[in-house]
Homo-oligomer: A and B are copies of this chain.
Amino acid sequence: MEPYLQEFHPPARLLLGPGPSNVSPRVLQAMTAPVLGYLDPHFARVMDDIRAMLRLVFQTGNRLTLPVSGTGSAGMEAALGNVLEPGDTLVVGVNGFFGERLTQIGERCGARVVQVQAPWGRPLDPEAVAAELRKNKRVKAVAVVHAETSTGVLNPVQEVARVAREHDALTIVDAVTSLGGIEVAVDQWGVDVSFSCSQKCLGCPPGLAPITLGPRAEEVLGQRKTPPHSWYLDLNLTQRYWSQNLSYHHTPPTSMLYGLREGLRAILEEGLQARFRRHWRNGAALHAGLEALGLGLFAQQGYRLPVLTSVRIPDGLNDDKVRSALLNEYNIEIGRGQGAMAGKIWRIGLMGENSRPSAVFSLLSALEQVLPREGFEVAKGESVAAAQRVLAEGDGSVAK
């Protein structure tokens, strides 16, 4: 029998890579609800609920807040493609793989892209962004990655948004890895456009890209001289459907939206601030445990994400063999390095459901078994003990 005719029963992995992360049963269950037509009044309720909850999670009052019908990269393209017109100037902060992606997509929009670089593993310098804003006249927007998934670095988005506003440029924030895990305060920070994905700290399967545009960005949208290149991602068209009149644009991905509704509901039940504390606490425990194993953290201290931790691969260790052993023997997935960091770092995600002590202990214990076999000696038991000590210190002492 052909393989495709057989049943498929995937193993239950602990997904500690850069995403997707594990999805809670309640979200998967919600996705099995009967599909509704896109004009059904009951479906309108799903849309209303999602928009209301996305505003809470983005911490914004923005009218134009909705999930784009694609993955996080579609959200990035929607953000840039709706704001930029050919010939516009875009300043992009680049200290990792996704800063480069912002650049590439910005260029496909026909924009002149000016990069403000920082080394991978270090945060962006808002002062360097300000310098480019002084140098380049009429910059349309500044785009920056909040949580750089390729390096585990937290960028100072709030400060970048401040300097952008001083120079009358919009701020576009990639919150793909941060939203729902660490604070993203769109209105308070003065962010004009932000987008994310469903499969990381929001705890849903991949396939949707929440996006929000503030009044200044909506004004830019309304004053475009040319339509966006992409009809599918044209927010002027999409929002007509998502707003009250349900004007048909494209058929929304019903089951994914059921799942997103349930994932957002779980977030609000937990409470945003409690959820952020949980992510910071477990991230700190992981960091302590990895250092107790003798591994070095890649991201600069003070700018380390709790949701995505980058670890230097010790000299002589075989990247593939360690990750394969974790996957095949322990059912644990961790991420490989991207781009220039391939073979040099691992990327460990603690996102949504998976930001919990048991996930931290499982990974550290498995590494204690696997690393020595590959030639890297560790002191047994110390990593879990170190993580436990951090967790015992409780919420208050975990430095953000």
Residues of A within 8 A of B (CB): 2-5, 8-13, 15, 17, 19-23, 28-40, 42-43, 45-46, 48-50, 52-53, 69-74, 76-77, 101, 104-105, 108-109, 197, 199, 205-207, 227-233, 248-256, 258-259, 261-262, 264-265, 268-269, 327, 333, 336, 338
Min CB distance A121 to B, Å, is 20
Q: Given contacts A20-B38, A71-B253, is CB(A4)–CB(B49) below 8 Å?
A: yes
Q: How many angstroms from the CA of A39 to the CA of B334 in the assembled complex?
A: 10
| Whole-angstrom distance between the Cβ of A346 and the nearest chain B Cβ | 13
Cα-based distance from A338 to B262 in the complex (angstroms): 32
Chain B: minimal CB distance from A85 (Å) = 12
| A52 with B2: CB separation less than 8 A | yes
B251 and A8 within 8 A (CB): no
Query: Would A108 and B53 count as touching, CB distance under 8 A?
Result: no
CA distance A12 to B231 in the complex (A): 32
Contacts of A262 on B, CB cut-off 8 Å?
Answer: 8
Q: Given that A20-B37, A231-B104 are known contacts, is A268 also in contact with B74, CB under 8 Å in the complex?
A: no
Residue of B nearest to A41 (CB): B327
Task: Report how many copies the assembly holds.
Answer: 2
15 A-B pairs with C-beta separation under 8 A: A3-B48, A3-B52, A4-B52, A8-B33, A8-B261, A8-B262, A15-B36, A31-B255, A40-B327, A69-B71, A69-B74, A71-B252, A108-B228, A108-B230, A232-B233
Which residues of the other chain, B, contact A29 by a CB distance below 8 angstroms?
A: 32
Task: Give Cα A139–Cα B256 distance, bound, in whole angstroms.
Answer: 39
Chain B nearest CB from A354 CB (Å) reads: 11
Do residues A250 and B73 form an inter-chain contact, with CB atoms below 8 A?
A: yes
Kindly state the separation between the CA atoms of A13 and B36 in the bound complex, as whole angstroms.
7
CB <8 Å contact, B36 and A9: no
In the complex, the chain B residue whose C-beta lies closest to that of A12 is: B34
Given the interface contacts A13-B37, A40-B333, A73-B250, does A8 sit within 8 Å of B104 by beta carbon?
Answer: no
Name A108's closest neighbour in chain B (CB-CB): B231
A205 CB contacts on chain B under 8 angstroms? 35, 253-256
Q: How far is the CA of A71 from the CA of B69 in the complex (A)?
A: 7
Interface pair A17/B32, CB less than 8 Å apart:
no
